[in-house]
A = this chain, B = another copy of it.
Amino acid sequence: MTKTAAIIGGGVIGGGWAARFLLNGWDVRVFDPDPEAERKISEVMDNARRSLPGLSDVPLPDEGTLSFHAELADAVAGVDWIQESVPERLDLKLKVYKSLQEACDPGAVIGSSTSGFKPSELQEGALRPEQIVVTHPFNPVYLLPLIEVVPTGANSAEFVQKAKDLLTSVGFFPLHVRKEIDAHIADRFLEAVWREALWLVKDGVATTTEIDEAIRMGFGIRWAQMGLFETYRVAGGEAGMRHFMAQFGPALKWPWTKLMDVPEFTDELVDMIADQSDAQSGMHSIRELERIRDNNLVGMMRALKAQDYGAGAVLNKHDAALKPGALPTLDEADLSQPIRTLARAVPLDWTDYNGHMTESRYLDAFACSTDRFMEIAGCDSDYIASGGSYFTAETHIRHLDETHAGAKIEVRTQMLLGAGKKLHLFHSMFEGDKLLATGESFLLHVSLENRRPCAPSAAIEAALARVTEAQASLPYPEGAGNAIRKPA
Query: Of residues 445 to 488 in A, which have CB atoms within 8 Å of B's CB atoms?
Result: 448, 451, 476, 480-487
Does the CB pair B276–A148 fall under 8 Å? no
Number of copies: 2
Q: Which one, B53, B301, B354, B451, contacts A389 given CB within 8 A?
A: B354
> Within 8 Å of chain B (Cβ to Cβ): is A157?
no
> Within 8 Å of chain B (Cβ to Cβ): is A310?
yes
Known interface pairs A59-B322, A297-B51, A399-B391; A292-B307 also in contact (CB < 8 Å)? yes
> Within 8 Å of chain B (Cβ to Cβ): is A95?
no
> With the chains together, A292 CA to B50 CA distance in Å?
12
Residues of B within 8 A of A416 (CB): 486-487
Q: Which one, B146, B200, B300, B480, contacts A185 given CB within 8 A?
A: B200
> Within 8 Å of chain B (Cβ to Cβ): is A246?
no
Does the CB pair B220–A55 fall under 8 Å? no
> With the chains together, A182 CA to B487 CA distance in Å?
73
Residues of B within 8 A of A482 (CB): 394, 483
Interface centre among A207, A272, A361, A389 (most CB of B within 10 A): A207
Give chain B nearest CB distance to A268 CB in angstroms.
Answer: 9
Interface size for A (C-beta < 8 A) is 191
Nearest B residue to A347 via CB reads B54
Q: Which one, B200, B343, B486, contacts A481 given CB within 8 A?
A: B486
> Within 8 Å of chain B (Cβ to Cβ): is A192?
yes
Does the CB pair A395–B394 fall under 8 Å? no
> With the chains together, A227 CA to B204 CA distance in Å?
18
Interface centre among A192, A398, A482 (most CB of B within 10 A): A192
Give chain B nearest CB distance to A240 CB in angstroms.
Answer: 13
Interface centre among A53, A169, A193 (most CB of B within 10 A): A193
Query: Can you name 16 A-B pairs with beta carbons within 8 Å?
Result: A47-B290, A50-B348, A55-B315, A57-B368, A177-B206, A178-B206, A181-B200, A185-B206, A188-B196, A189-B219, A215-B228, A216-B225, A224-B310, A296-B303, A359-B395, A360-B364
- Name the 5 nearest CB pairs between A and B, nearest first: A212-B227, A259-B259, A54-B347, A299-B303, A220-B223
Given contacts A61-B322, A168-B317, A189-B219, 18 further A-B contacts (CB under 8 A): A51-B294, A51-B297, A54-B350, A59-B326, A140-B290, A145-B315, A173-B314, A178-B206, A181-B205, A189-B197, A195-B263, A198-B262, A207-B279, A208-B230, A299-B304, A300-B303, A360-B361, A483-B483
